Amino acid sequence: MKAEIISVGTELLLGTTINTDAADVALLLSEYGINVYWQTVVGDNPGRVIEAVQRAKSRADMIITTGGLGPTCDDLTKSALAEAFGLKLELNKGEEQWLRNLWVERKYSELTPNNLQQVMLPEGSTPLRNDWGTAPGCTFTADGVLVIMLPGPPGECRPMLQYRVRPILAALSDGVIASHNIHFFGIGESEMEYRLRDYMNELTNPTLAPYAKQGECLVRVTASAPTAEKAEEMMAPVVERVRGMFGELAYGMDCANLAEYTTRLMIERGVTVAAAESCTGGEFTKAITDIPGASAVLLGGMVVYTNEAKHKLLGVSEELLREKGAVSYEVAVELARRARETLGSDLGIGITGLAGPDGDGVHEVGTVFISLADGENVWVREKHINARSRAQVRLYACQNAFDMIRRRLDGYSVEEIRVDP
């Protein structure tokens, strides 16, 4: 089955809004073995939307649209699709009553006619209830093409995909397509693909596909089978072999990222952490607090951006700061030790470095020292991050901190530099 995604919204063309909807739709379709051949972005112009739909229906078996279902004058996706398929718009009584009840429950002001525009759907379509907004989606089949229309705001589109579209795709599928993502840190996509190439060529079902993320990589293992249980059975030896090929570089499966994996690992093990951050400006601790349950492991964090803050808040000696400089192995050690001692945590993290754009006359931009203290040892990782922005330097520094913690907890070698306490 060939699919096309049409994203409607002038804001997408202007770049003021990032089109995350298309990525979310494509990911879900890939789970069910549906190939996305085309993605189209079109502005809020009825003629151009109709043109895009007509082009899509001439080449695709499935069209999924996002955006343009709301109550304003530029929300014209439904009318454009209806015209492209020769259908009339009609008031859906069930959705109208739901919308009226919603207005009463939420104590909104008067339900104006333009709000009722949201429940005008193409004739013969099946509404897709939007419990996360006010504009329902809908689906219909016409001219041999399956059409699914979804709202544009990501906070509505994502749950609609999960709870409204997923059952539709499951009903279309013969059997089950299942997948697992194996996550890696410390290896690049090209090296990973090179090491996997022969094995990938051996496989037909399951299949392997490597992907790069910011600072990380993953390998997706996908199997097609009559049942979910059979798919899992087919994938198990492949997952085991891939993890065995890369050893300690593989850190988890089906997780969001290294920060989430490591935070959940600390929660499971009952391990607490405190951090003293300089160049990362609190991003390490923020990444932990993004995870539910973080209060069980994060005792606190300090942003000690200046030498004065390092001295006054943590007691790092002024002499050490003068002699070695803030960006140094020795200061990183002190940050980790003193963060742990100050807050009484099991682990302490210290991060100091140069995010740029200016250097310090000694180190190049992107030089970062990350340290981990556990009361018995202190480990230090020196990285020279070739990044294009300050944000990337901060991200990669934090990722290295999480990698050091997960290696310590999983029993792997943390780093070649170990400092006696």
Q: Residue 264 carries which side chain, given as an amino acid letter?
A: R
Model confidence pLDDT, tens digit, residues 350-405: 999 999 887 777 889 999 999 999 999 999 999 999 877 999 999 999 999 999 99
Q: Are residues 400 and 274 in the same domain?
A: yes
Q: Are residues 144 and 29 in the same domain?
A: yes
pLDDT at 416: 53
Q: Are strands 176-184 and 216-225 parallel, antiparallel or unpaired?
A: antiparallel
- Closest by CA to 352, choosing from 405, 393, 403, 296, is 393
Question: 31 pLDDT band (50/70/90 cuts)?
Answer: confident
Angstrom CA distances, 357 to 16, 221, 309, stand at 26, 40, 22
Residues 6+ apart with CB under 8 A from 129: 95, 98, 136, 164
Q: Are residues 90 and 168 in the same domain?
A: yes
DSSP H helices, 133-255, are 154-160, 166-172, 189-202, 228-246
**What is the chain's Cα-based Rg?**
26
For the residues of 326-392, what is the DSSP string, one character each? SSSHHHHHHHHHHHHHHHT-SEEEEEEE--SSS--SSS-TTEEEEEEE-SS-EEEEEEE---SSHHH
82/282 Cα distance (integer angstroms):
50
User: Residue 40 is encoded by which pair of tokens?
Assistant: 């189209």
Q: Are residues 189 and 308 in the same domain?
A: no
Q: Are residues 161 and 180 in the same domain?
A: no
| Residue 205 belongs to domain spanning | 176-253
193/186 Cα distance (integer angstroms):
14
Angstrom CA distances, 161 to 164, 254, 262, 403, stand at 6, 19, 28, 33
User: Residue 204 is encoded by which pair of tokens?
Assistant: 């037909």
Question: 336 pLDDT band (50/70/90 cuts)?
Answer: very high
Q: Are residues 233 and 105 in the same domain?
A: no
Half-sphere exposure of 291 (CA within 13 A, CB side): 23
Domain boundary among 253, 278, 298: 253
Find residue 224's DSSP bridge partners. 177
pLDDT at 362: 84
Q: Are residues 227 and 96 in the same domain?
A: no
Find residue 371's DSSP bridge partners. 350, 380
Asked whether 63 and 56 are in contact (CB, 8 A), the reply is: yes
H or E stretch including 150?
strand 145-150
Q: Are residues 327 and 220 in the same domain?
A: no
Question: 103 pLDDT band (50/70/90 cuts)?
Answer: very high
pLDDT at 421: 42
Q: Is the peptide bond before 154 cis (omega within 30 degrees of 0)?
A: no
CATH number of the domain bearing residue 283? 3.90.950.20
DSSP-derived 3-state class of residue 286: helix
Range in 17-26, 32-41, 119-128, 407-416 with the lowest mean pLDDT: 407-416
Count: domains in the chain? 3
pLDDT at 214: 87
What are the contacts of 406-409 at 24+ separation with CB within 8 A?
Answer: 406/251, 406/258, 406/261, 406/262, 406/265, 407/248, 408/347, 408/372, 408/374, 408/379, 409/262, 409/265, 409/266, 409/269, 409/271
pLDDT at 418: 47
Q: Are residues 9 and 145 in the same domain?
A: yes
Model confidence pLDDT, tens digit, residues 154-187: 999 999 999 999 999 989 887 888 899 999 999 9
Domain boundary among 218, 236, 253: 253
CA angle 190, 195, 200 (to 5 degrees): 100
Mean pLDDT of all residues in 38-56? 97
Q: Are residues 73 and 202 in the same domain?
A: no
Domain boundary among 172, 192, 214: 172
pLDDT at 357: 84
332/276 Cα distance (integer angstroms):
9
Q: Are residues 232 and 311 in the same domain?
A: no
CATH number of the domain bearing residue 249? 3.30.70.2860
CATH number of the domain bearing residue 162? 3.40.980.10
Angstrom CA distances, 147 to 143, 150, 232, 257, 421, stand at 10, 10, 31, 33, 64
169/403 Cα distance (integer angstroms):
37
Q: How far apart, in Å, do the first and last CA atoms of the chain sit?
A: 61
DSSP state of 163: I
DSSP state of 107: T
pLDDT at 363: 85
319 pLDDT more than 80 = yes
How big, in percent rounded to 5, are the helix, strand and coil portions of the chain?
Answer: 45, 25, 30
Q: Are residues 187 and 149 in the same domain?
A: no
Q: What is the mean pLDDT of the chain?
A: 94
Burial bucket for residue 186 (CB in 10 Å: 0-12, 13-18, 19+): middle
Helices H, strands E: what count in the chain?
16, 18
H or E stretch including 179?
strand 176-184
Q: Residue 122 carries which side chain, given as an amino acid letter?
A: P
